[in-house]
Chain A
């Protein structure tokens, strides 16, 4: 065919022993791992994280769009309001905003060469992440403990579980359950919240024989709770993953700071960008799920 470029003989590819420094010089390596490329102004991982975040935007964007579609499609008056604890949500918002600040400060500390300060800031970030997840699980627990009981007489009891008798069994129709709550006047959700705010809450004991249906406020209870649990659950997973990465860089991988500080600082920048994204998602989630 052509003789210009003869095949490299395989024999030559086999055994030549050269010392390490020489082959490292000859060996073509992946460039721009630490230093930015001139024409793009970015190092590889930064391109990577921005692309990854673009896909994350599409992921949460699809879920938010689903939220809108489900809400617009819901029958009039059935979309619940006021089910969540706004105070806890607000605290969590502040906690995440605080962690965003400390992430930036930790990166700035590294840029200034102050490793000790970086560690302090980043441990505050980790504390914030734990606080957030803690508060979130309290909220989840509250929802799973919150029951709606439809009695055989058609009346509805809404309240938090106090206790079940030992022989409580819905299938066998034995025992009784006690809720701290109130009787709901009307069955529509709209009327429910109005009464829920002002109703006197007291312990109500219902024998199982009188229960037609008993369901807690888990994701199966309504499409609102379904999207609430899915969105916040996915977000909580992101918080957890982000915190895990930050922790690993903070602790087990800290040795890199000694050998390659520029690369170490880049890792903080990358994980910080992810962290900001996770915070940003929450900034959208909070009003959409808690306030609107």
Chain B
């Protein structure tokens, strides 16, 4: 079988065309989707690391409130200034409350908008989607470049905000007004301007992805022959396209509140620090929450759908059999996309928006869990009877399933207002969505990195280190997040500077059991260990770039989809000759074929 006979002159031709570009055009102002994908990947991974560092420091304050930070406390004080660090009587420095709040808000912002979305959607989407649909590039390469640059600018603005007087935004990644609007420092203003850049970037990216998938599918690549990963990205792009603009509107209005002293989100009679605020009033704090969560809920599917797509590709490839229920997957993802626009107010049960509205959103929330369950079930059933290859990407993909399952199931009690009243704003929420985003989405991303690394670099990552990385991550992820469910159910609130110590067993309040607060210590230890568990990955990643084993085949994993039917790494323009698609995406182990995979472009 010869899916791509690499006739001699073609590759050289393409490469010499490549070499005409200067360094700047090729790597900095690149328009090639693969280079942009790598740019997104590197920037996103850096932000992922930075976001983790913020939380690693916060975990110190939670485990040992008021204890000075070892080793780097002094440097933090030097960098961030006295206003952000408190001097400890025993010597050394510990975090000021303002810094804790800023780190918390920026951890959420950075992880969601600067790490996971850029990685899951933009990096993997850019790298893989055009290849999988058999296109030469994205539909609008220059808009693609602009999208990355807007993202980069947004990131720079967010980073700079740490160093302005008063520090970064402190009102949480949700930035609820009035709190967000009345904190006197400029952190929130920077946050809002940064968000406008990030939203612009996402919008440009979304337009590009949708147009690419609609217009540039190779001949024969019908909708029902599209790999599931492309479907997931397609729906994700629609979510970004339609859900982000309302947040942009909200950001503009909050910016007006900050700089033009309007009162969009500030109510009449607002009192700040004991004094009546000098504002016109008449605004609505609820309005912000509606606009925020109108993005916020679709956004959580933006975080998870691309990871589901990656996992699906890898499961099909490593079970060596077709995905069970491909069509159900496709219809489910479409239904999720649609329904995710009408569930947002399940984040607002405690705002007193009224029982009728509450009932509506409870209903839609329960309905949306159905397609999620269908997807998970299809992926589980796909394992049945497969001769599974347990390589590193597959391990991560397999772990994704139960982890996402835990995250999803624990969402159900949050979807009913009667149980949410107890759980809202506690560590239970933190556990719920981290199960989905951390051992869920991030495992999906790791799986994708191990899986596509050979295609992008021509070398493989070490399986041995990969497995160490996998087991370390899996164990410590659970040690971090599982106890948080218990803490939350015991009433431990989130976003508390001292980790709840103030409320421990206090006589006046309903005391939080001390052992629940003591778990903060073991959780912090697990969190730092989780950080250490990434060292094999970081080493593996860089080492394999130079010294990894060279691939012996363009189709390293014996895959059916088109991205593997190209030279390695794919040249500018991707395919040596325009591919034609003859079959569905997962024709593994087709009876009567010599090989256990039949590429989509094989007649």
Contact = CB atoms under 8 A, between A and B. Distances in A.
Interface of A: 1-8, 10, 12-18, 22-23, 26-32, 37, 40, 42-45, 47-48, 51-52, 54-56, 58-63, 66, 69-70, 73-75, 78, 218-223, 226-227, 229-230, 234
The bracket for how many chain B residues form the interface is 35 or more
18 contacts: A1-B557, A4-B595, A13-B12, A16-B16, A28-B578, A44-B216, A47-B214, A51-B206, A51-B207, A51-B210, A55-B206, A56-B245, A58-B243, A62-B245, A69-B287, A75-B282, A218-B260, A226-B280
A43 B211 CA distance: 10
A252 B150 CA distance: 25
B262 A219 contact: yes
Nearest to A69: B287
Given A66-B249, A223-B262, A8 B11 contact: yes
Contacts of B245: 55-56, 58-59, 61-62
B554 A5 contact: yes
A86 B550 CA distance: 73
B262 A18 contact: no
Nearest to B240: A55
B354 to A, nearest CB: 14
Most chain A beta-carbon neighbours within 10 Å: one of B10, B203, B555: B10
Interface string B247-265: 0111011001000111110
Interface stretch (B86-94, B136-144, B186-194, B364-372): B136-144
Contacts of B248: 59, 62
B132 interface: no
Contact of B16 (A15, A51, A66, A75): A15
Nearest to B550: A7
Interface of B: 1-4, 6, 8-17, 135-137, 139-141, 143, 203, 206-208, 210-211, 214-216, 241-246, 248-250, 252-253, 256, 260-264, 268, 279-280, 282-284, 286-287, 290-291, 294, 458, 550-558, 564-565, 567-568, 571-578, 595, 597
Given A5-B555, A28-B136, A13 B571 contact: yes
A3 B556 CA distance: 10
The 3 residue pairs across chains A and B that have the minimum distance between CB atoms = A16-B12, A62-B246, A8-B567
B242 A220 contact: no
B17 A48 contact: no
Contacts of A73: 282, 284
A73 B294 CA distance: 20
B200 to A, nearest CB: 10
Contacts of B565: 5
B136 A58 contact: no
A71 to B, nearest CB: 10
B153 to A, nearest CB: 18
Contact of B141 (A18, A30, A69): A30
Given A5-B3, A37-B215, A75 B291 contact: no
A6 B554 contact: yes
A13 B567 CA distance: 9
Given A8-B6, A23-B13, 4 more contacts: A1-B556, A13-B11, A30-B141, A75-B282
Contacts of B262: 219-220, 223, 226, 229-230
A18 B211 contact: no
A229 to B, nearest CB: 8
Given A7-B568, A17-B16, A44-B139, A2 B256 contact: no
A60 B552 CA distance: 54
Nearest to A33: B139
Contacts of B9: 16, 18, 26
Nearest to A227: B264
Nearest to A56: B245
Contacts of B551: 7
A253 to B, nearest CB: 14
Nearest to B3: A5
Nearest to B249: A62
Given A51-B241, A66-B287, A44 B215 contact: yes
A56 B136 CA distance: 29
A54 B244 CA distance: 12
Contacts of A221: 280
A74 B282 CA distance: 6
